[in-house]
Structure 1
Amino acid sequence: MTDHSRRRFLKATGTALSGAALMSSPAVAGGSERTDTRFLIDLREISRSEVPDDVEIVHDISEIDVLAARGDPEVVPGSASTTLDMAVYQHDETPQSGPVKERNAKAQGSNGPAWDSGAPTRTELQWDKRAQRVGDLTENPGQERTVQDTATGEGSRIAVIDTGVYDGHPDLADVVNAELSANFTTDPYDFRPNGAGSHGTHVAGTVAGTNANGEGILGTAPDTEVLSLRVFSGMQGASGDVIAALVDAATKGCDAANLSLGYPYPYVYPEKYPFLYAVKELYQRAVDYARSEDMVVVNSAGNDSLDMDGEGVLSLPTEVEGVFGVSATGPIGYLWDDKQESREDKALKKLEDSTASPAFYTNYGDAVDVSAAGGDADLEASAEGIPGWYYDLVLSAVVEYDDEGNPVPGYGWKAGTSMAAPQVTGAVALVRSLRPDASVEEVEDLIRETARDAPGGEEYHGAGHLDLRRLVKRAR
């Protein structure tokens, strides 16, 4: 199936998907009154003393003059002082009602996925890292230098603002700073997923997986330090939690914050949902604060196959000034034949679409700074059950649960701009490990200037497709 056909499929199903899966979280439904809802208070419109005592303050984000609150917004004086605390969603598993869902790769013996005894190793399935020659992922690596011969992220710190990171995973066990990690939701648990899913663990593995025992997955920057800042209790999060986590990450000295989340269709039309303008303003404050603290804010561009330059479109938080937006690419046909002689780097030369081809679901437009590997899918191949079709998704760490609810480390595939953003977050870690004093602007310029041309041009790739080898060569 061609790229055009895959995009047409998503657009044709977009209305049904959004109606089934999306909602604007604290909006009043059917005109009924609600007195216990989440909202945001702008302290540039009113003073703190004017906030009634019966309003619960969930987050005091005084660095940017914002309070995340719960209660009755009507009791707060001033019509411009409050705005809805919108629900925010993960940018993965696209299309949400279709076949591209998380697929697990359960270990068999000591060597990876369990579909047959001659299966590829997990690192053989990491086309995203092999295309960039991130590390020694081959049995016969030759003499060519890898990215990690130059930099591994040592001395850098990144925040994964997401569903939580499972630090009991063998590839993340020595990566997560538990002391600085935190839960920003209102549930009573810690920074770990606690039933919120594998999204954040998958993202963290892409950034910083260590492949510690040689049988797992390798991240871009395995020596970086990860802060798990959890903002999801389930599939939904709250904007106020995300903004609070973003400010916290900057305050804690992170070099980058990874936001693989956003507001999908239909919450891209501010004329229909005018509260989007107010939410954008509060994100802008958080991003400005982050940049003042030398932190790069990396965001997934979204999975609605949306032209962000379209009339009346506002895609948040990607279109906030100062956010580094990332679109998604992926191959079609990686290791589909699953023959031993086609493995190693030969597999990258036997593709229907290259690893730098725009994914069928990705948003695009001027807000994209670069593209990166997020995974793609041939929906016809998926529907027909063609073996190996899901190899074109991104493999990383996940967490599963046994019958008693205990977390169990695993590996699985996901696709989305959620999977593309951490490729760039890992790149920031590499640059900061080589140039600790580089400014946000200098880091971003290096990533853009070393990106390479890719199919689809600027519309889909911005400055180009992420090129880690060129990046570390320029940065060292």
Structure 2
Amino acid sequence: MRDSTRRTFLKGTAGVIGGSALATGSAVATGDGETGRFLINLRKVERSEIPDDVEIVHDLSSADVLVARGDQSRVGGPTATAPDVEIDLSDDDTGAVVEADGREASGNAASHNHDGPPSNTEFQWDKREQEVAGELTDKPGGGKFVHDTTTGEGTRVAVVDSGVWDDHPDLEDVVNEELSINITGDPYDFRPNGAGNHGTHVAGTIAATNDNDGPDGGVLGTAPDTEIVAVRMFSGLQGYAGDGLAGWEYAASVGCDAINYSVGYTVSDTVEYPSLIALEQMISQVANDVRSQGTVVVNSAGNAGLDMDAENTLVLPTEADGVFGVSATGPIGYGWGGKHSDNEAKWLTGNRLEEPTTDPAPYTNYGDAVDVSAGGGNYDLEAINAGNEDAYNDLVYSTINVAGPDGEQTASYGWKAGTSMAAPQVTGAAALVRSLNPDATVEEVESVIQETASMPDEGGTYHGAGHLDLPAVVDAVGGNGNSK
């Protein structure tokens, strides 16, 4: 999250839109011509001045923003409108930098009690390092865990994404079917529709319940008693930034405590300078309107490995005012083998990780717009390409849905790495804060997450205020209604 006045580094008038943070696919402006989509800033143009043949796709007038379709050139001046951005996931249909499918939810290959084949939760280094719960611990039988204080009860979180497959044993009764929506305009519901299982993976990281009673068990989210509102903004492999903003406003209107938005795009080199400013300004207006309703906007910082402070680079929506940006970290060597390979309780400690869980991932964007870092997964491509399946353990393991040849979905688990996987760790933390202190303001929620974060050696460039520290977060809030 960056002060929107810090735009002096944007020099020149030429740029390119590309590099989606949700995927490695492309993003293109759609406002040119007579039928393209674009955004209108009602602070720059009167609504009465908009031609009748310009279609209003989404009315976000509480933020003085409209999402429209038609001839952009006929509406206001150069700062009154900005092209909408179409995000194309065709180059990566799941939205992760690296990924691998794991077991089906009905799998039966595991043993519990940290001996033999690992149960599903034993792949969750991201939750174990955060001391989320006793069943994920490296210290069986002792210690206090985050879920001893709160599991996120009484909170509601929106996942604005590719849809959530709620027919998963670890997501049953988690997703609010009545409030969940499809915001794309296609005739289907909120569940995934051709854009893979990215949203399902994100939802599990936030709120999976570990209720799968199969022999492998399930996986556990940061806030398993929070309620998920799924807002699908992708129809097939295409989505629009304007639909995402409409999803933010919807989430706030139904009382969501936080929004997880693991979507983004990089702007540089082909869009006119006024359009860059106009686009960022309207995103900021929507973010701040949502914040005024009590909803935190958590966003992935992007997977391009970019310095967001560099000239002619703008990563949206992370750099917009009012957006809480999260960079990604992860280990190298988690459960790769050695003398403790058959004892998952020691995977974080016994193998002497080559890189710690706080190591900045090679793909993560970095810079002043990062508010905190969190576990998004790391990877050793050389090891993966050499066929070392254990190398996938360094990615984030969560719920997924897998489509068969007939299109029927199967509940499963899988690994993904990306800042998309880091953001839901923080969204879950926001739910924990609100469960302990329902009256905490957006600023208080964000502040306690930042003030309790631990600072790794790489410093603020990669970690913002520091690395997410869930035990410190819940200790600071304390369950007594105080966020300080």
Query: What interval of TM-score do these two structures reach, taking the shorter chain for normalisation?
Result: 0.7 to 0.9
Aligned partner of 2:282 in structure 1 is 282
Aligned partner of 1:101 in structure 2 is 99
Cα gap change, 1:153/1:268 in structure 2, threshold over 3 Å: closer, same or farther?
A: farther
Bigger drift between 75-84 and 246-255 goes to: 75-84
Residue 348 of structure 1: how far off its partner (Å): 0.4
Aligned with 1:397: secondary structure?
strand
Query: Is the 8 Å Cα contact of residues 58 and 69 (structure 1) preserved in structure 2?
Result: yes
Aligned partner of 2:411 in structure 1 is 409
Aligned partner of 1:345 in structure 2 is 345
Output one character per residue of 1:344-378: Cα deviation in whole Å (capped at 9) or x when no partner.
33110221001111101111111111110000101
1:357 aligns with 2:359: yes
Cα gap change, 1:151/1:298 in structure 2, threshold over 3 Å: closer, same or farther?
A: same
Q: Distance in 2 between matches of 1:347 and 1:315?
A: 35
Within 5 Å, give how 1:252-263 maps onto structure 2.
Answer: 252-263=254-265
Residue 419 of structure 1: how far off its partner (Å): 0.1
Q: Distance in 1 between matches of 2:338 and 2:166?
A: 32
Q: Tell me, which stretches of 5 or more residues in structure 1 are unaligned?
A: 1-14, 29-33
The match for 1:467 among 469, 480, 483 is: 469
Query: Is the 8 Å Cα contact of residues 329 and 357 (structure 2) preserved in structure 1?
Result: yes
Output one character per residue of 1:207-228: Cα deviation in whole Å (capped at 9) or x when no partner.
0000113511100000001111
Aligned with 1:249: secondary structure?
helix
Output one character per residue of 1:429-470: Cα deviation in whole Å (capped at 9) or x when no partner.
001000111111111111111111213111111111101011
1:24 aligns with 2:23: no
Q: Distance in 2 between matches of 1:21 and 1:218?
A: 30
Aligned with 2:297: secondary structure?
strand
* Letter of the structure 1 residue corresponding to residue 41 of structure 2: D
Aligned partner of 1:60 in structure 2 is 59
Residue 38 of structure 1: how far off its partner (Å): 1.2
Within 5 Å, give how 1:27-42 maps onto structure 2.
Answer: 28=32, 34-42=33-41
Aligned partner of 1:230 in structure 2 is 232
Aligned with 1:257: secondary structure?
strand
Residue 338 of structure 1: how far off its partner (Å): 7.7
Output one character per residue of 1:184-240: Cα deviation in whole Å (capped at 9) or x when no partner.
113221111122211111000000000113511100000001111111113332111
Q: Distance in 2 between matches of 1:453 and 1:94?
A: 34
Aligned partner of 1:157 in structure 2 is 156
Aligned partner of 2:336 in structure 1 is 336
Cα gap change, 1:269/1:432 in structure 2, threshold over 3 Å: closer, same or farther?
A: farther
Aligned with 1:68: secondary structure?
strand
* Letter of the structure 2 residue corresponding to residue 409 of structure 1: A
* Letter of the structure 2 residue corresponding to residue 124 of structure 1: E
Cα gap change, 1:436/1:361 in structure 2, threshold over 3 Å: closer, same or farther?
A: same
Residue 75 of structure 1: how far off its partner (Å): 4.1
More helix by share: 1
Q: Distance in 1 between matches of 2:229 and 2:88?
A: 20
Query: Is the 8 Å Cα contact of residues 123 and 397 (structure 2) preserved in structure 1?
Result: yes
Aligned with 2:407: secondary structure?
coil
Within 5 Å, give how 1:363-402 maps onto structure 2.
Answer: 363-402=365-404
Within 5 Å, give how 1:135-284 maps onto structure 2.
Answer: 135-138=133-136, 141-214=140-213, 215-264=217-266, 267-269=267-269, 274-284=274-284
Cα gap change, 1:291/1:118 in structure 2, threshold over 3 Å: closer, same or farther?
A: same
Query: Is the 8 Å Cα contact of residues 338 and 388 (structure 1) preserved in structure 2?
Result: no
Cα gap change, 1:111/1:133 in structure 2, threshold over 3 Å: closer, same or farther?
A: farther
Output one character per residue of 1:271-317: Cα deviation in whole Å (capped at 9) or x when no partner.
76652221111111011111111111111111111111122322111
Residue 87 of structure 1: how far off its partner (Å): 2.2
Q: Distance in 1 between matches of 2:447 and 2:96?
A: 38
Q: Distance in 2 between matches of 1:213 and 1:79?
A: 54
Aligned with 1:105: secondary structure?
strand
1:431 aligns with 2:433: yes
The match for 2:125 among 124, 127, 131 is: 127
Cα gap change, 1:80/1:451 in structure 2, threshold over 3 Å: closer, same or farther?
A: closer
* Letter of the structure 2 residue corresponding to residue 151 of structure 1: T
Residue 94 of structure 1: how far off its partner (Å): 12
Q: Tell me, which stretches of 5 or more residues in structure 2 are unaligned?
A: 1-16, 479-484
Aligned partner of 2:298 in structure 1 is 298
Aligned with 2:200: secondary structure?
helix
Query: Is the 8 Å Cα contact of residues 161 and 234 (structure 2) preserved in structure 1?
Result: yes
Query: Is the 8 Å Cα contact of residues 105 and 112 (structure 1) preserved in structure 2?
Result: no
Aligned with 2:235: secondary structure?
coil
Q: CA RMSD in A?
A: 2.8
Matched residue pairs, number?
450
Aligned with 1:261: secondary structure?
coil
Query: Is the 8 Å Cα contact of residues 270 and 313 (structure 1) preserved in structure 2?
Result: no
